[in-house]
């Protein structure tokens, strides 16, 4: 079946939406099985996520996180690599942000501290991606496996650092001290409150502005710079890229450094913006969700922002379900799993039937008869 005869709107709009609908239908069956009316559940989720400024706050807070982790996957994907290490990179990024805030919080003004903590998030996250990147570039070790291993190594490392170095004397739970309030990224409801607009309390903080800027910057980087061109060239055809004079190992390492830095930014939102301390297991699978976000967003920053909003809605709406129906909060995880299954693993299942149906309709009602025949050949 020829690819060019299928218009873009089928590939970019119809097929992804069909996949999400299939996931929603499957989710509906699961809700029905759990004795919950799927339509009521959907209503409760929409209300929980968008029905109040409080709900919006949480939804957008999760969205911010997913933008970072989604971009971290997408940039690597553009270079033909699968970065499963967002989990570990974000965790180590949190260490960077935490150290900066603990050392400089209260000693320097926020506007001096912020660039340093942004740098720290990027550098720590990127460094954690460096070894898998180097191994992929020079030793051919598969990046999927090495990044999985590095997630576990990061968990052990953070466990060690928290217990032996960052945990204040006499505290029971494994977490660092609270940062000085001067180091906190301002909450959106405080900022809006100062401007006279009322908004309920939520963890949403100004990291969201940074996330949107970063998404735009990634678009510029990938599609408007030489480095981005090289990354995309390697991703679409490594041997052609090499023949064209691109040094593959350099591009692989550059890509993974950028991806690691993007994952590290998660810490700005979660640690500096909300928790104000380094906690055990703070990434909590959000790095993995980034994979789903990147898949849904078709590895394009604009798509990723939309997909991050969808997953923010799922996360917040799903946790509201728990109060409404006393269903386990991890029902959200099921929804995420279904979206990954249908729009990732089974993404080609509907592709051929839809394209075939389009060609048939196009042949019957279209302006150019005969397209069908050439397409089928």
Partner 1 sequence: METFVTIILILDAMLRNATPLIFAAMAGMFSERSGIVNIALEGKILISAFAGAATAFVTGSPWMGLLAGILATIVFAQLHAFATVTHNGDHVVSGLAINILAAGLTAALGNYWFGQGGNTPNLVNRAEELNARFQPITLPLADWANQNIPYLGYIYFELISGHYVLVYLAFAAVPLCWFILFRTRFGLRLRAVGENPQAVDTAGISVTKIRYAALLMCGILVGFSGVYLAVALTAQFSPNMSAGKGYMALAALIFGKWRPRPTLIACLLFGFLQAIADRSQGAEVFGMAVPVQLVEALPYILTVVLLGGFIGRAVAPKAIGKPYVKERE
Contact positions toward partner 1, by CB under 8 A?
30, 34-35, 82, 84, 131-132, 135, 139-142, 144-146, 148-150, 152-153, 156-157, 159-160, 163-164, 285, 288, 291-292, 295, 327-328, 330-338, 340-341, 344-349
Which of these, 257, 262, 281, 264, lies nearest to 121 by C-alpha position? Answer: 264
141 phi and psi, to 5 degrees?
A: -75, 135
| Minimum distance of partner 1 from residue 104's CB (angstroms) | 27
| Minimum distance of partner 1 from residue 162's CB (angstroms) | 10
Question: In the complex with partner 1, which residue's Cβ is closer, 1 or 209?
Answer: 1
Question: In the complex with partner 1, which residue's Cβ is closer, 86 or 105?
Answer: 86
| Minimum distance of partner 1 from residue 359's CB (angstroms) | 18
**Are the beta carbons of 3 and 375 closer than 8 angstroms?**
no
| Minimum distance of partner 1 from residue 118's CB (angstroms) | 28
Question: In the complex with partner 1, which residue's Cβ is closer, 73 or 122?
Answer: 73
Helix (H, G, I), strand (E, B) or coil at 7: coil
CA 64 to chain centre: 8
Question: In the complex with partner 1, which residue's Cβ is closer, 90 or 335?
Answer: 335
- Angle, CA 274 vertex, CA 273 and CA 278 arms, to 5°: 95
| Minimum distance of partner 1 from residue 240's CB (angstroms) | 19
Rounded CA separation 185/118 (Å):
11
Question: In the complex with partner 1, which residue's Cβ is closer, 57 or 85?
Answer: 85
Question: In the complex with partner 1, which residue's Cβ is closer, 156 or 198?
Answer: 156
Rounded CA separation 22/18 (Å):
6
- The DSSP code for 344 is I
| Minimum distance of partner 1 from residue 295's CB (angstroms) | 7
**Are the beta carbons of 53 and 250 closer than 8 angstroms?**
no
For tokens 């050392």, name the residue: 103
């Amino acid at each position: 079946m020829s690819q060019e005869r299928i218009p873009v709107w089928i590939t970019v709009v119809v097929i992804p939406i069909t996949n999400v609908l299939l996931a929603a239908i499957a989710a509906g069956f699961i809700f029905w099985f759990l004795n919950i009316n799927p339509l009521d559940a959907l209503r409760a989720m929409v209300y929980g996520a968008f029905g109040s400024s409080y709900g919006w706050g949480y939804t957008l807070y999760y969205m911010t996180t997913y933008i970072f982790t989604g971009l971290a996957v997408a940039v690597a994907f553009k270079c033909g690599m699968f970065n499963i290490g967002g989990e570990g990179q974000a965790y180590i990024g949190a260490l960077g942000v935490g150290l900066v805030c603990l050392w400089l919080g209260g000693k320097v003004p926020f506007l001096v501290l912020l660039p340093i903590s942004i740098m720290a998030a990027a550098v720590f996250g990127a460094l954690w991606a460096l070894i898998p990147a180097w191994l992929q570039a020079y030793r051919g070790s598969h990046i999927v496996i090495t990044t999985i291993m590095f997630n576990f190594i990061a968990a052990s490392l953070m466990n060690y650092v928290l217990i032996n170095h960052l945990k204040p004397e006499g505290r029971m739970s494994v977490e660092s001290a609270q940062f000085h309030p001067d180091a906190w990224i301002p909450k959106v409801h405080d900022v809006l409150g100062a401007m006279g607009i009322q908004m309920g309390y939520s963890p949403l903080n100004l990291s969201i502005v940074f996330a949107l800027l970063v998404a735009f910057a990634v678009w510029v980087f990938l599609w408007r710079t030489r480095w981005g061109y090289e990354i995309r060239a390697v991703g679409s055809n490594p041997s052609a890229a090499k023949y064209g004079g691109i040094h593959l190992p350099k591009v692989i390492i550059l890509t993974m450094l950028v991806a690691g830095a993007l994952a590290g930014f998660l810490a700005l939102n979660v640690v500096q913006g909300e928790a104000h301390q380094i906690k055990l297991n703070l990434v909590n699978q959000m790095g993995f969700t980034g994979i789903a976000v990147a898949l849904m967003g078709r590895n394009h920053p604009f798509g990723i922002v939309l997909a991050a909003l969808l997953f923010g809605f799922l996360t917040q709406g799903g946790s509201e379900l728990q109060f409404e129906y006393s269903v386990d909060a991890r029902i959200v995880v099921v929804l995420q799993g279904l979206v990954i299954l249908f729009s990732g693993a089974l993404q080609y299942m509907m592709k051929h039937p839809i394209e075939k149906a389009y060609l048939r309709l196009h042949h019957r009602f279209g302006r150019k008869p005969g397209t069908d025949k050439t397409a089928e050949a």
